[in-house]
Amino acid sequence: MQYISSRLSDDGVPAFGFGGDYNPEQWDPSVWVEDVALMAEAGVNLVSVGIFSWALLEPSEGEYEFGWLDSILDLLHSSGIRVDLANASASPPPWFSHKYPQSLPVTATGVRLGYGSRQAFCASSPDYRRAAAALTTAIVDRYASHPAVVMWHVHNEYGCHNQPCYCDESGAAFQRWLEHRYENLDALNAAWGTAFWSQHYYSFSEITPPRLSGTFVNPTHALDFARFSSDELLACFEAEAKIIRDRSPHPVTTNFMGFFMGLDKPLDYAAWAEQMDVVSNDHYLVAEDPRNFQDLAMNSDYVRGLAGGAPWILMEHSTSAVNWQPRNIAKVPGEMLRNAMQHVARGADAVLFFQWRAAEAGSEKFHSAMLPHSGTDSRVWREVVELGAALRSISELVGSRVSDAPVAIIHDADSRWASELDSHPSTDLSMMAETRLWHDALYRAQVTTDFRAATDDLSSYRAVIVPMQYLMTDAGADNIRAFAEAGGTVVVTYFSGIVDEDNHVRLGGYPGAFTDLLGVRIEEFYPLRENETTTLSRFGVGRIFSELGRSAGAEVLAEYAEGPTAGSPAVTRRAVGSGFAYYVGTSLSETGVLELLETIAIDADLAIADSPAGDLEIVRRSNGEDTWLFAINHGASAVSVTANGTDLLTGEATAGRLELRGGGVAVIRENRTTE
């Protein structure tokens, strides 16, 4: 990121990236001059160009038309605006899909999708891969040394609309992937448990993608297909990135979609992140969610983990409404600044939007933009200009990292996909909902949280939350146990550690991977009816799940007080080595989690704030010398914040307490205590 930050200004002083997707090809060239003048007015210094321009750049196979792109890059350069240049492989043109119809993706029901929207290709299609590589080569050869270009944008939101693909070409690629993974059919048959329902395979060529069948398909087959689908798209990225890296020193990225990568869009971002020169992410609020700012924080925390704690790029968010939700509610005044500052607080060093100028045609014409349909005499434009100024006023933070994140939440793509498969004890089981419940409690307690994989180094954390990590490898379970033994506090929730890497149940009592660590032995699940709750002896009620079992060495903090599981442990605690291991066998209410967090905080030596409203966001970044406190008030009433230092947004000094108005944001450079 530092490479990019220091190239955003002529003097090389690191700056926050500020700008968005710029699609000049949708406009007459006469508009471009106004675009660039207004970008300068708003302080835009970075735009993503060419993401959806394949059809204009390559009118027919192997014939390129770069004139308009030459002009726009020169124009941007003459105004000092830097470019994140796309390799344009995201959306093959109609001529391509028409010429190579077998490159179109196929659904699990066997329907071959049409073109006419975007991203209409199968990741395994040799025709697509060949054409994308040729286009990438042509673009990079032409623009690698263009002075406006500072980074490369490969594709766009891989997998958003076109995967997994179940066509025959995907099927053949899946067979090769399985041969590589298992080497022989005995291993595959064992891993998939094919003795069940007469599913034994005698040849790899018999194996198809897990297409719609009469009833549940083999769950390990389905899980492997998710793994394969992620790898297959990643191979597309790697091939295109290699072409770029062979020709240009600029960093390469592709924009992630945060947590938008469940079983329906399987992307193992932990594996993808290893292939990025800089991690970038897109985030859109769910407009109708009253705590969407917490969801934003959770996504940013996740992306920061993918970036290994280093600064990352917010590649897209919106100035106001989007166009693709059921009700596209506009942001209220000040909300965009709060959102942008949340991302920055949680590690972003660039704040970009989809998109620069609101479209007049096409499916996204009602999507907000930096420059709205109504032009510069508009609230959105004025707030965009203010945001540009705000980012300049805090530019001393560029390159700093989020400091003081004492808690990690475990999140593994494999576990999420496996947990989202069918034929489980209850359709109400949701790893993401449980993850969010715990992140929200920590957010309300003003505890910054990282996301880590189960096998990551956890030694810097005081507490680790394991929310519904249904699939747990031996290595992950060992790592989590070692963390507790070394003095950490672990909190494992229900439906964690149930299966191994092959999606086979760990026998001998639930939660198999963690029974010894937690000192509990669960023998049977009792999922609750829809919206049913069950009273606990402490921490309020349980929701979604309850269990029949007993303590096997753990202290019982709460038991089920009614129903078929009455007397079984619901919440337990066990001293392990010099740390602690908690088990939560049901989904607690928001207040129940907060109450339990108070107990956990004592064991984990965690400072937690008493913030019942849960709308004051407190996060710190540091560069090792200075520390900056972000205080973001999502509520309507003023709040008092402990702060000593200077608010970079207003220039005002605060000693002791800061009164932060409803909706207000402060970025305080904290006084150095040694001074």
Pick the closer one to ligand GAL by CB: 35 or 157: 157
Residue 23 neighbours by CB under 8 Å, 6+ apart: 49, 51, 52, 53, 355, 356, 357, 359
Which range in 29-37, 156-164, 442-450, 629-637 contacts ligand GAL by CB under 6 A? 156-164
316 counts as catalytic: yes
**Residue 355 vs 633, nearer CB to ligand GAL:** 355
Strand-pairing partners, residue 357, are: 371
Binding to ligand GAL by residue 322, rule CB under 6 A?
yes
For ligand GAL, the binding residue among 35, 84, 127, 157 (CB under 6 A) is 157
The arrangement of strands across the sheet holding 616-622 comes to: 401-403, 616-622, 627-633, 665-670, 645-647, 653-654
Minimal distance in Å, beta carbon 276 to ligand GAL? Answer: 16
Measured from the CB of residue 81, what is the shortest distance to ligand GAL in angstroms? 20
- Determine which one of 316, 383, 434, 617 is catalytic: 316
Q: List all residues 6 or more positions away from 99 whose beta carbon is below 8 Å from its beta carbon.
A: 61
In the complex with ligand GAL, the residue whose CB is nearer, 54 or 582, is 54
Q: Which residue has the tokens 């985030």?
A: 283
CB of 89 to ligand GAL, least distance (A): 14
Residue 401 Cβ, how far from ligand GAL at the closest point, in Å?
Answer: 26
156 alpha carbon, distance to own chain's centre? 14
Characterize 86-118 residue by residue with b for buried, 16 or more Cβ atoms within 10 angstroms of its Cβ, and e for exposed.
bbbbbbbbeebbeebeebbbbebeeeebebeeb
> Footprint of ligand GAL on residues 350-379 (CB under 6 A)?
354, 364, 367
How crowded is the C-beta side of 421, counted as CA atoms within 13 Å?
Answer: 24
Stretch that binds ligand GAL, among 152-160, 305-313, 383-391, 618-626 (CB under 6 A): 152-160
Residue (156 or 479) nearer to ligand GAL, CB: 156
Least gap, CB of 282 to ligand GAL (angstroms)? 5
Helices first, then strands: H and E counts in the chain: 18, 29
Tell me the number of residues near ligand GAL by CB under 6 A. 10
Q: Which of 316, 349, 450, 456 binds ligand GAL (CB under 6 A)?
A: 316
Distance in Å, CB of 346 to ligand GAL, minimum: 20
Among 58, 282, 440, 450, binds ligand GAL (CB under 6 A): 282
650, two tokens:
């207003």
Can you tell me the distance from the alpha carbon of 17 to that of 343, in angstroms, rounded to the nearest whole number? 13
* Identity of the residue, 160 or 178, whose beta carbon is nearer to ligand GAL in the bound complex: 160
Q: 23 with 35: CB under 8 angstroms?
A: no
Q: Are 3 and 251 in contact (CB under 8 A)?
A: yes
Interface region with ligand GAL, contact rule CB under 6 A, candidates 153-161, 169-177, 273-281, 303-311: 153-161
Cα angle: 36, vertex 41, 47; to 5 degrees = 45
Q: One of 58, 157, 240, 617 is an active-site residue; which one?
A: 157
In the bound complex, what is the minimum distance in angstroms from residue 486's beta carbon to ligand GAL? 41
Residue closer to ligand GAL (CB basis): 157 or 169: 157
Phi and psi torsions of 177, nearest 5°: -60, -40
Cβ pair 213, 419 in contact under 8 A? no
Query: Would you count residue 534 as binding ligand GAL (CB under 6 A)?
Result: no
Catalytic residues, which ones? 157, 316
Interface positions with ligand GAL (CB under 6 A): 156-157, 160, 282, 284, 316, 322, 354, 364, 367
